[in-house]
Structure 1
Amino acid sequence: MGLTTRILLAMLLGIVVGVLFNFLSTSQLLGSGVTGVIDTYLVDGLFDIAGRIFIASLKLMVVPLVLVSLICGACALSEGSRVGVLAVKTIMLYLLTTAAAITLALLMGTLFQPGEGMEGLVAEATFEAPPSPSLKDVLIDIFPTNPVEAMAAGNMLQIIVFALLMGYAVSRSGEPGRRIASFFNDLNDVIMRMVGVLMAFAPYGVFALLAKLFAQLGVEAIVQLGKYFLVVLATLLLHALGVYSLLLKLLSGLNPVELIKKMRPAMVFAFSTASSAATIPVTLATVEKRLGVDNKVAAFTVPLGATINMDGTAIMQGVATVFFAQMYGVDIGLSGYLMVILTATLASVGTAGVPGVGLIMLAMVLQQVGLPLEGIGIILGVDRLLDMVRTAVNITGDSVVSAIVAKSEGALSEETFNDRNYDSAANGGDMTVSGQYRASNG
């Protein structure tokens, strides 16, 4: 059985076990003593430990992988001007997809009106908005004063800036630069092998994460906010399968179906972890080895996308804005909707790397159109599950932008992209790391 199949089975099994434990806990069929043992030793014990170790292992790889891969990629860009061109293309595409995402969300929210008849929830709403950084502070904080501190804190934008400068300097340093470049290329191969080793534990980590989540996630909140939940979910799927497919076909001519199929492992990881940053090792390996995107492009577009590409969050903000406007009976008008699009698009870059970025962005958007921030407390009950879906949407957007930019730069292997036998038994169940890890032999 291939690794991708095992991960999908582990995901489904984790959901089933979690839902079963939640039902047994709430129904008291087994008595408080037995359910207490399940909650203490399995849900909060074994599952929590295994899930946290798995997430920690993935995060362990993020900083060294991004730093080394990006230095290798910058070294490969022999013309210094290509770094600037690559950056402009990538950032513009990410801003375009974010604007499209929130526009679609506003349309879906207006069409299906999830806030109608929800006035009774207003009295229950409480929320204290986290402070949002100023534009001046954001711009200054992009540039590191201490690269070691940036790596220790996992500040992705600062790591990207340092790695680009380092790679550019290496590519301009003659023979010493070539020796250093060779070292980083070898180090990159070693780190990718480490990612492959971690893949062996992926099914267990995915099972533990989802079993714990669904064991603790009650259905009451989803039932109460069912219409909002379904509108956000439908918009996320429409954006991932519709907007991204259309952009990929129009701007690169590539087959969207092939991309979706090959990104399945990364999507599963993103869904399980609900963290684009923690999924970077898998996303980067998948984009390079399964889609055929050259490292010099993927090493830049994927980490940057994990930091500033917030299409899933933008969709949540768009639907939530309409939801709150309908619930509070506030007509924000066309100008208000345009302001939401502009604010959310710019905030996706302006708040990149800030903890709790989704809530900060939503608070900024609601403040801009004069809606009460307390409403955010209403949707927090279902936000964790939706966060998993929108993270999968975000990394799909990262892969689409990577493929489009790589195709425009002549850095995409179409033979690899169109290879439909990549997951065949002949390939030993290869998942992401180009033969360095094969599921058939562990």
Structure 2
Amino acid sequence: MGLTTKILIAMLLGIVVGVLFNFLNASQLLGSGVTEAINGYLTEGLFDIVGRIFIASLKLMVVPLVLVSLVCGACALSEGHRIGPLAGKTVLLYLLTTAAAISLALAMALIIQPGVGVDVAPGGAFEAKESPPLSDVLVNIFPTNPVAAMAQGNMLQIIVFALLMGYAISRCGEPGRRVAAFFNDLNEVILRMVGVLMVFAPYGVFALLAKTFATLGVEFILDLGKYFLVVLGTLLLHALGVYSLLLKLLSGLNPIELIKKMRPAMVFAFSTASSAATLPVTLSTVEKRLGVDNKVAAFTIPLGATINMDGTAIMQGVATAFIAQMYGIEIGLMGYLTVILTATLASVGTAGVPGVGLIMLAMVLQQVGLPLEGIAIVMGVDRLLDMVRTAVNITGDSVVSAIVAKSEGALSEETFYDRNYESVANGRGAAAAQ
């Protein structure tokens, strides 16, 4: 059985077990003692521990993978003087897809109007963290201490340091070639470590989803069903429609092939709800299944995991219109244009801040004068939507990587259209485990 199939089965089993446990907790069919045992030893015990260890092991790989991959990529790009054009195309495409995502979300929310008729009864207070000023964001992109940046997981600073180091290595002659060879070897070792971790992925995915659904259940979706369906529908439309159109128009590649090849990374992103935790899987999939050269993927994927938040932008657009409709506040055309601009820029500006989705939403609501209390209402269904939008985010990263790689002549179409990859990948996975 292939790794992707195992992960899909684990995901379905996790959802079923979680919903079953939630039903047993709510109905008290087994008595309070058994229910407490299930919650204590399984939901908050075994599932929680396995899930947290799994996420921690994935995050363990993020900083070394980003640093080493970017240094290798910058070395190769700098030798051909292509790092400037590649960076420009990548950032421009990420901003374009984010602006398209927020515009689509607002259009869907204005047409369907999910907030009309909803009773304003916030489920709890929400304290918005203060968003950093734009000047601080720009200054903080550049590290004063690269070791501290790596210790804190500050991805933007790590990216800047790695690009500078890669550029310097490519300009150092023979000493630079020796250092570059070391980083290339180190990159192979780190990718093998990722392969070893992937063997345990189904167990981590099962534990994460079982705990999530045992804690939240299914009924929490019903309270905000219309809002939930609008966000979910827009996410799917953006992932399957907008990305497919962009890929076909700008590269001529087949979108269906890309979606098929990215399936393992999408499933992973859905189960972890973290672009950073999924980054090792995304990078490996884009390189080995889509055929994107490492020198391009090593730049576009870490950057996308840091600044490309199309899924989050869609949530902001629908949530803003939903809250405005719910409170009966008309923000007008200029208000919605402000939402588009603010959300697009915020996707870059708040990339390194914990809880980025809700902070970005707070920034958007403040810009158009909507009450922040509305965030407490949409928080109830945010966890499951967060899982979907993370899958959308990493799909966007892969599409931009493929487009940029094709334009740079750094994409192997033979690998992109190779449908026999699954068996090869499974063989590699088994070898990595051994």
TM-score with structure 2 length normalisation?
0.98
Cα offset, 1:83, TM superposition: 1.2
Cα offset, 1:437, TM superposition: 2.1
Cα offset, 1:439, TM superposition: 7.8
Deviations 1:3-45 (A, max 9, x none): 1100100000000000000000001011111011000000100
Q: 1:74·1:164 contact (CA, 8 Å) conserved in 2?
A: yes
Q: 1:51·1:205 contact (CA, 8 Å) conserved in 2?
A: yes
Partner residue, 1:286: 285
Structure 2 residue 119 is the aligned partner of structure 1 residue 112:
no
Cα offset, 1:112, TM superposition: 0.9
Identity %: 82
Q: Distance in 2 between matches of 1:3 and 1:124?
A: 40
Q: Distance in 1 between matches of 2:413 and 2:166?
A: 26
- Aligned residue for 2:422, secondary structure, equals coil
Q: Where in structure 2 are the equivalents of 1:200-279 lying within 5 Å?
A: 200-279=199-278
* Residue identity matched to 1:39: N
Structure 2 CA distance for partners of 1:114 and 1:376, relative to 1, 3 Å: same
Structure 2 CA distance for partners of 1:84 and 1:78, relative to 1, 3 Å: closer
Partner residue, 1:373: 372
Structure 2 residue 128 is the aligned partner of structure 1 residue 129:
yes
Q: Where in structure 2 are the equivalents of 1:131-150 lying within 5 Å?
A: 131-150=130-149
Q: Distance in 2 between matches of 1:81 and 1:360?
A: 38
Partner residue, 1:98: 98
* Residue identity matched to 1:31: G
Partner residue, 1:437: 429
Partner residue, 1:36: 36
Q: Where in structure 2 are the equivalents of 1:18-417 lying within 5 Å?
A: 18-79=18-79, 81-118=81-118, 120-122=119-121, 124=123, 126-417=125-416
Deviations 1:108-154 (A, max 9, x none): 10111110110x22465532211000001000100000000000000
Cα offset, 1:359, TM superposition: 1.0
Structure 2 residue 8 is the aligned partner of structure 1 residue 16:
no
* Residue identity matched to 2:163: L
Cα offset, 1:327, TM superposition: 0.4
* Residue identity matched to 2:419: R
Q: 1:262·1:291 contact (CA, 8 Å) conserved in 2?
A: yes
RMSD across aligned positions (CA): 1.3
Cα offset, 1:440, TM superposition: 11
- Aligned residue for 1:423, secondary structure, equals helix
* Residue identity matched to 2:429: Y
Partner residue, 2:6: 6
Deviations 1:156-194 (A, max 9, x none): 000000000000010110000000010000000000000
Q: Distance in 2 between matches of 1:219 and 1:378?
A: 17
Q: Distance in 1 between matches of 2:122 and 2:172?
A: 65
- Aligned residue for 1:133, secondary structure, equals coil
* Residue identity matched to 1:394: N
* Residue identity matched to 1:375: G
Q: Distance in 2 between matches of 1:93 and 1:202?
A: 31
Q: Distance in 2 between matches of 1:191 and 1:126?
A: 43
Cα offset, 1:208, TM superposition: 0.4
Q: 1:125·1:375 contact (CA, 8 Å) conserved in 2?
A: no
Q: 2:195·2:433 contact (CA, 8 Å) conserved in 1?
A: no
Which consecutive residues of structure 2, in runs of 5 or more, have no partner in the other structure?
none
Q: Distance in 2 between matches of 1:439 and 1:121?
A: 56
Q: 2:19·2:218 contact (CA, 8 Å) conserved in 1?
A: no
Q: Distance in 2 between matches of 1:61 and 1:124?
A: 37
Which consecutive residues of structure 1, in runs of 5 or more, have no partner in the other structure?
none
Deviations 1:321-368 (A, max 9, x none): 110111010111111111110110011111111111111110111111
Structure 2 CA distance for partners of 1:132 and 1:78, relative to 1, 3 Å: closer
Q: 1:126·1:375 contact (CA, 8 Å) conserved in 2?
A: no
Q: Distance in 2 between matches of 1:129 and 1:87?
A: 33
- Aligned residue for 2:429, secondary structure, equals coil
Q: Distance in 1 between matches of 2:21 and 2:103?
A: 39
Deviations 1:278-326 (A, max 9, x none): 1110000000000000011000100100010010000000000110111
- Aligned residue for 1:334, secondary structure, equals helix
Structure 2 CA distance for partners of 1:158 and 1:80, relative to 1, 3 Å: farther
Q: 1:2·1:440 contact (CA, 8 Å) conserved in 2?
A: no
Q: Distance in 1 between matches of 2:79 and 2:101?
A: 34
* Residue identity matched to 2:82: R
How many pairs were matched up?
434
* Residue identity matched to 2:179: I
Cα offset, 1:81, TM superposition: 3.8
* Residue identity matched to 1:337: Y
* Residue identity matched to 1:34: V
Cα offset, 1:221, TM superposition: 2.7
Q: Distance in 2 between matches of 1:169 and 1:37?
A: 58
Q: 2:311·2:392 contact (CA, 8 Å) conserved in 1?
A: yes
Q: Distance in 1 between matches of 2:234 and 2:276?
A: 23
Q: Distance in 2 between matches of 1:344 and 1:224?
A: 26
Q: 1:125·1:376 contact (CA, 8 Å) conserved in 2?
A: no
Q: 1:3·1:439 contact (CA, 8 Å) conserved in 2?
A: no
Deviations 1:75-131 (A, max 9, x none): 11144641111111101000000000000000110111110110x224655322110
Q: Distance in 1 between matches of 2:113 and 2:172?
A: 60
